[in-house]
């Protein structure tokens, strides 16, 4: 009976030891590795890309899209030259004569105005056209009415706006999707470049 009691005393302890040991040996490495995976990289170890997305017609649109990403961003602008318009007009003349002619043409249903500045000041504008053929057609019509008209070029430019971000490379797709979600249409371009000491501006309100 004494031997049996000794066995009953030590046996559970010896049987339990492998179980505890296996649990400790099996759990601790997994928990440690999980915690290590969850730790964010230090700032100096993170990889960044500089994204530029454009062009947009209005700075208000750009700022709204930038705010939707909840990131710091910059607004970049660019002036693009467009094809000039074909301008049909009566050549410059003394201001009283130009105004009298414009009044006469308006009374006959024409949509005209007197140019008030620039190279063609005091000319009477009869219309601007992207199509050269349409402009020439109006010239022919006015000449048949014994009106002295000429063709001129009307230069024009367009200002476009782009969004620029400095983002972690892992968030690149997320940022693009956020901008795309708030914009109806296609982007003219998306540029992805390495960031070379580029700091984003203060976050716009």
- Max mean pLDDT among 37-41, 99-103, 161-165, 186-190 falls in 99-103
| Residue 3 confidence class, pLDDT cut points 50, 70, 90 | very low
| Mean pLDDT computed over 111-132 | 94
Between these two residues, 112 and 3, which has the higher pLDDT value?
112
Give the per-residue pLDDT at 199. Answer: 42
| Residue 135 confidence class, pLDDT cut points 50, 70, 90 | very high
The token duo for 113 is: 């105005």
Lowest pLDDT segment from 22-26, 100-104, 172-176, 188-192: 22-26
pLDDT for 51-66, tens place per residue?
888 888 888 888 888 8
Beta strand pairing call for 113-114 and 48-56? unpaired
Between these two residues, 184 and 156, which has the higher pLDDT value?
156
Is the pLDDT assigned to residue 153 strictly greater than 90? yes
| Residue 8 confidence class, pLDDT cut points 50, 70, 90 | very low
What is the Cα–Cα distance from 91 to 31, expressed in whole angstroms? Answer: 86
User: Which strands make up the sheet holding 150-168, listed edge to edge?
Assistant: 113-114, 124-129, 73-90, 150-168, 48-56, 189-194
Give the per-residue pLDDT at 32. Answer: 42
Partner residues linked to 163 by β-bridges: 53, 75
């Amino acid at each position: 009976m004494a031997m049996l009691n000794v066995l009953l005393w030590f046996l559970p302890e010896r049987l339990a030891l492998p179980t505890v040991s296996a649990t400790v040996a099996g759990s601790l490495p997994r928990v440690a590795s999980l915690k290590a995976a969850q730790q964010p990289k230090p700032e100096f170890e993170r990889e960044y890309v500089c994204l530029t997305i454009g062009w947009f017609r209005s700075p208000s649109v750009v700022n709204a899209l930038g705010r939707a990403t909840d990131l710091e961003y910059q607004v970049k602008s660019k002036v693009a030259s467009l094809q000039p318009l074909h301008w049909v007009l009566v050549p410059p003349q003394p201001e009283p004569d130009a105004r009298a002619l414009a009044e006469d043409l308006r009374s006959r249903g024409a949509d005209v105005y007197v140019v008030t500045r620039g190279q063609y000041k005091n000319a009477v504008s009869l219309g601007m056209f992207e199509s050269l053929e349409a402009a020439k057609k109006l010239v022919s019509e006015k000449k048949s009415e014994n009106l002295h008209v000429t063709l001129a070029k009307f230069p024009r430019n367009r200002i476009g706006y782009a969004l620029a971000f400095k983002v972690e490379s892992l968030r690149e797709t997320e940022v693009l999707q956020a901008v795309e979600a708030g914009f109806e249409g296609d982007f003219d371009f998306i540029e992805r470049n390495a960031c070379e000491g580029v700091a984003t501006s203060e976050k716009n309100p």
